[in-house]
Amino acid sequence: MSKRRFDAVTIFPDYFAPLELSLIGKAKKAGLIDVGIKDLRGYVSDNHKTVDDTPYGGGAGMVMLPEPWGLAIDESAHQSDADIHDLIVLTPAGQRFTQGLAEKFLESEHIIFANGRYEGIDIRVTDFYRTQPNFRVHEVSIGDYVLGGGEVATLVIMEAIIRLIPGVIGNPDSLTEESHSLKNEDGSLVEYPNYTKPPVWRGLEVPEVLMSGNHRLINEWRHSQAVKRTEDLRRLTGE
């Protein structure tokens, strides 16, 4: 696969400043990925740089105009050499983002994130790109709470995907271990508890088995702890 590209279209490009930091910043500098941030207002022709209007049929709030979205997304697609573009439209009504989806999007050469604000984007943008044979459209939400827009959700999704790219994480053993560890039906992980030095901290001891050097026993103990934590979590969430 050629170099993966991630584009984000937004009226708040500054939200993406954290992309220069840590994991994603290193991946960019190492040339493992390309990231482009597009200011939606750069695709608006009127002098007031209008990106929104009142909803047909009435109702509260404003809806984002389809025209600048179409121009920004088309340009993004033309700037990439990928044959297929994955358009991820962030919306509170989208499919829940999971580790399983992160693994699926890892296979994409080009992802375009459409970051709405206000009440969201005119649905014809989603409807149009669904009819395009070189686009796959995904309406995605990161969870059951209401954000002010898609930007923070895009950062979450980018980080979850980019850390899976070979060479991005310093210690690839942690990814191998992750892929072998306990998962829920939706692919999210359940962890065993970790301990490091000192052996006693504020009276709390590291479990004897972890000091035993017996890796079969250690793996069995960790697995049973992960199962227990899964059950505790299910009880807590009333499943």
Contacts with ligand JEK by CB under 6 A lie at: 90-92, 116-117, 119-120, 141-143, 145-150, 153
Question: Of 77 and 101, which CB lies nearer to ligand JEK in the complex structure?
Answer: 101
Q: In angstroms, give the least distance from the CB of 142 to ligand JEK.
A: 4
Q: In angstroms, give the least distance from the CB of 204 to ligand JEK.
A: 36
Q: In angstroms, give the least distance from the CB of 100 to ligand JEK.
A: 16
Q: In angstroms, give the least distance from the CB of 133 to ligand JEK.
A: 26
Q: In angstroms, give the least distance from the CB of 64 to ligand JEK.
A: 8
Question: Of 61 and 193, which CB lies nearer to ligand JEK in the complex structure?
Answer: 61
Q: In angstroms, give the least distance from the CB of 17 to ligand JEK.
A: 19
Nearest of 38, 36, 35 to residue 26 by alpha carbon: 35
CA atoms of 10 and 42, how far apart (whole Å): 10
Question: Of 42 and 143, which CB lies nearer to ligand JEK in the complex structure?
Answer: 143
Question: Of 27 and 90, which CB lies nearer to ligand JEK in the complex structure?
Answer: 90
